Chains A and B, each alone.
Chain A
């Protein structure tokens, strides 16, 4: 059989219809014109009939069967123009739908195109080019400016500016040095890197994103499920109506026209096209929204609960102040850094980082004991020292003089976490440590309120004074301090009884809370595969502005979806009334039907260009 494309078929049918019209002259044999019209109907109708038969073999009555029935009927009653018009419009419509639908799905394809095709790997002292899947873990790959990084790995040599837009949506290049982690699909703008491969192809962050987005685009929204149920009853309903009308009035034209409008195409497609476009837009901007239902929830969120460390703050505590009471500041730092030598606690890391500037080598602790919720007890040069909070001091019967107590209050009210350093008898000094608040946390609440968020709260394990200071600086409505992970879950549950609440965290130590929330949002998903899997919404970069973007986008998506639904319902109504009152005939019925489907798709395409101002 002659294979022609859908586009060619539509064109040939169109030309035949045009010729038929041209031949419709008063002094010309009308049969010639009719022959061309029938030919057009056959050319355009062939695939419709074929598909109808294929489906009927499986006892499925679809739109093709209805159109076939309507067209056959039209030919029998001599309405050749109607028959040609219906088949032509149906084919032309589905051709345009395919083209435009492709566009709504283009974001994912664009993302796929960002995958690297080759990797340069060091083997046997030489550099060879292989496909990225052929690299094995532990091998060294070499990447030069303009090239895509072909693995997830750690830099072992060199430094570079890397554009991570393919993952985070941010095109501002980031400086990367030895020891930093780089990701597949990101591009070196300048510099040169040797990277030790750690994750290959399917296991990389990039591949996971693709996979998640792909799955998300097919996860149906509640609205969509409803529409599908509606269509399931609407189609047979109209068919029964057509049969009844035919039997009662014997008006075959009316009955056939009803068949053509029995499939509410625009209504069925109204939701999925918006969702696909919305999710695609998010993926391009480093925001993964896992499905239609998540978009619906995110758009309806009224209350947000934030984790503190790593979410509202950078998550990298640094020493901000040293205060010696019995010793000098330098002695205090020396002592604290020595004592914390073996500790893994974030506060200890901050002290050790500050201690790096000391010239004298640190003393190695002889003994070191970590006391949960209090601090550290260490032995340095046969002397006992305590580093921790007030509780540690009182437990060990070390008095806190008023001078020290006042100082502690002052520091904590300013948002500083304090570490008291004492020997066996007296307090020697206080180290103040603070975790910097994220730059974009400061205007966050204002932006959220504009998006209709009523309440913002912070949940933290930190003490009340610190929590209050940060909550105030960020402008949160409320805060809950000194919480254990299970407390966070309990508070979330309570918040959720009042409002639809989303939990925002870094997904590392707040996983239970993220899972409990109506909606879990993970910040900085690039660093944690666990967070990417558990959260409903993943913000790839650790930027709070992505949170407002995600909420804004989901609201825009829902708005778009509603426009589509209302429009589609209107079309269903207009068609039904039009057909019954006979203002809409076969051809115009099909025209309106196809036009409405395309308009709905075009409206969804607008979402791809959505960008927050």
Chain B
């Protein structure tokens, strides 16, 4: 299990947060996801054997949000 934090462009509606949460939860190997609305960050704990950072970034970007940095 690893945890990564993705810094997104500024989130402006709480429903965006809900959307990202639902979409990422649907990926395989996601253990925990937290969308930090105020700081526009997504914190994901996942199983590296089942998914990876690229997959998560792809999902977030497919929803229309730019990922600015990953920590």
Chain B residues with CB under 8 A of A59: 22, 26
Chain B residues with CB under 8 A of A105: 38
Contact of A54 with B10 in the complex, beta carbons under 8 Å:
no
**A244-280 with Cβ < 8 A to chain B:** 263, 265, 268-269, 272, 276
Contact of A54 with B62 in the complex, beta carbons under 8 Å:
yes
Pick the residue among A54, A102, A263 that contacts B15 (CB under 8 A). A263
Smallest CB–CB gap between A610 and chain B, Å?
18
- A217-246 to B contact mask, C-beta < 8 Å, 1/0: 110000000000000000000000000000
Contact of B62 with A268 in the complex, beta carbons under 8 Å:
no
A63 on the B face (CB < 8 A): yes
A3 on the B face (CB < 8 A): no
A370 on the B face (CB < 8 A): no
Contact of B38 with A62 in the complex, beta carbons under 8 Å:
no
- B41-71 to A contact mask, C-beta < 8 Å, 1/0: 1000000000000000001001110000000
B13 on the A face (CB < 8 A): yes
- Given contacts A105-B38, A217-B39, A218-B38, whether A58 and B13 have CB atoms under 8 Å apart is no
CA distance A433 to B49 in the complex (A): 66
A340 on the B face (CB < 8 A): no
A214 on the B face (CB < 8 A): yes
- Which residue of A is nearest B39, CB measured? A214
- A444-475 to B contact mask, C-beta < 8 Å, 1/0: 00000000000000000000000000000000
- Given contacts A97-B13, A98-B12, whether A58 and B59 have CB atoms under 8 Å apart is yes
Chain B residues with CB under 8 A of A63: 13, 15
Contact of B23 with A265 in the complex, beta carbons under 8 Å:
no
Contact of A269 with B63 in the complex, beta carbons under 8 Å:
no
Contact of A51 with B64 in the complex, beta carbons under 8 Å:
yes
Chain B residues with CB under 8 A of A407: none
Chain A residues with CB under 8 A of B26: 58-59
Smallest CB–CB gap between B69 and chain A, Å?
14
Chain B residues with CB under 8 A of A217: 38-39
Chain A CB count within 10 A is highest, among B13, B26, B36, for B13
Chain A residues with CB under 8 A of B14: 265, 268-269, 272
Smallest CB–CB gap between A156 and chain B, Å?
35
Pick the residue among B12, B18, B36, B64 that contacts A50 (CB under 8 A). B64
**Interface size of A in residues (CB-CB distance below 8 Å):** 26
Contact of A58 with B22 in the complex, beta carbons under 8 Å:
yes
For the complex, would chain A's binding face be called helix, strand, loop or mixed by DSSP majority?
Answer: helix
B28 on the A face (CB < 8 A): no
- Given contacts A98-B10, A98-B12, A265-B13, whether A272 and B37 have CB atoms under 8 Å apart is yes
- Which residue of B is nearest A597, CB measured? B13
- A88-120 to B contact mask, C-beta < 8 Å, 1/0: 000000100110011001001000000000000
Smallest CB–CB gap between A9 and chain B, Å?
14
Pick the residue among B12, B19, B64 that contacts A94 (CB under 8 A). B12
**A18-65 with Cβ < 8 A to chain B:** 50-51, 54-55, 57-60, 62-63
- B1-27 to A contact mask, C-beta < 8 Å, 1/0: 000000000101111001100110010
CA distance A218 to B40 in the complex (A): 9
Chain A residues with CB under 8 A of B59: 58
Contact of B12 with A55 in the complex, beta carbons under 8 Å:
no
- Which residue of A is nearest B12, CB measured? A98
- Given contacts A101-B12, A265-B13, whether A55 and B38 have CB atoms under 8 Å apart is no
Smallest CB–CB gap between B9 and chain A, Å?
10
Chain B residues with CB under 8 A of A108: 39
- Which residue of A is nearest B63, CB measured? A54
- Given contacts A94-B12, A268-B15, A269-B14, whether A58 and B23 have CB atoms under 8 Å apart is yes
Pick the residue among A60, A98, A272 that contacts B23 (CB under 8 A). A60
- Which residue of A is nearest B36, CB measured? A218
CA distance A108 to B63 in the complex (A): 27
Chain B residues within 8 Å of A, Cβ to Cβ = 10, 12-15, 18-19, 22-23, 26, 36-39, 41, 59, 62-64
Chain A residues within 8 Å of B, Cβ to Cβ = 50-51, 54-55, 57-60, 62-63, 94, 97-98, 101-102, 105, 108, 214, 217-218, 263, 265, 268-269, 272, 276
Q: Which 8 A-B pairs have the closest CB atoms?
A: A58-B23, A98-B12, A218-B36, A217-B38, A60-B22, A268-B14, A276-B38, A218-B38
Given contacts A101-B12, A218-B37, A272-B38, 20 further A-B contacts (CB under 8 A): A54-B64, A58-B59, A58-B62, A59-B22, A59-B26, A60-B19, A60-B23, A62-B18, A63-B13, A98-B10, A108-B39, A214-B39, A218-B36, A218-B38, A218-B39, A218-B41, A265-B15, A269-B14, A272-B37, A276-B38
Q: Name 10 interchain pairs, CB-CB below 8 A, sorted by A.
A: A50-B64, A51-B64, A55-B63, A58-B19, A97-B13, A214-B39, A217-B39, A265-B13, A265-B15, A276-B38
